[in-house]
Amino acid sequence: MPASITAEVAESLLASARQAAENAYVPYSRFPVGAAVLTSDGSIVTGANVENASYPLSVCAERVTLGTAAAAGHRHIRAIAVTAPRVAVVTPCGGCRQVINEFRMPDGTVDVILEGEHGPEILSLDDLLPRAFGPRDLE
């Protein structure tokens, strides 16, 4: 599926994600991650990973961000940018790929924006999570 957003929008979402990473709560891993989503109505929602002394309760940046957007009433996202300042590129974990899948646009698109060597790398979620199980399977 072709990318539905421009390189300019992708870069601006990555910039929001980089800023969000500054608020990551990561006393255990010391591995900050930031995320930013572009919703169907053009809003930008950001978040960062939030860890816990009971380690498995830690929440990834993507899930914090998608949960924040959903709780604000957003149901569809055009794109999500993810960045981790300590490494050149980070890609969403398997669990977060499934949660991104939940909030695809009605036409099924959702772009995942990563840090690329020469600017943002724009992928389709289908590249990262082929043949996903999602809301439509329960209809």
Smallest gap from residue 48 Cβ to ligand THU (A): 8
Report, in Å, the least distance between residue 22 CB and ligand THU.
Answer: 14
Total residues at interface with ligand THU (CB under 6 A):
15
Q: Would you tell me how many other CB atoms lie within 10 Å of the CB of residue 81?
A: 32
- Position of tokens 């072709």? 2
Active-site choice (8, 11, 62, 121): 62
Q: Given candidates 37, 61, 80, 114, which one binds ligand THU under the rule CB under 6 A?
A: 61
Closest CA to 6 of 106, 120, 83, 117: 120
**Residue 62 known to be catalytic:** yes
Q: Which of 62, 65, 103, 104 binds ligand THU (CB under 6 A)?
A: 62
Binding status of residue 58 toward ligand THU by CB under 6 A: yes
Binding of ligand THU by 115 (CB under 6 A): no
Position 10 contacts ligand THU (CB under 6 A) = no
Whole-number Cα distances in Å, 46 to 18, 23, 113: 10, 10, 14
3-class SS of residue 126: helix
Give the shortest CB-93-to-ligand THU separation in angstroms: 5
Q: In degrees rounded to 5, what are phi and psi of residue 121?
A: -100, 125
Across the strands, what pairs with 39?
77
List the one residue out of 36, 58, 59 whose CA is nearest residue 47. Answer: 36
Active site residues: 62
Binding site residues, ligand THU, CB under 6 A: 26, 29, 31, 33, 49, 51, 58, 60-62, 82, 90, 92-93, 96
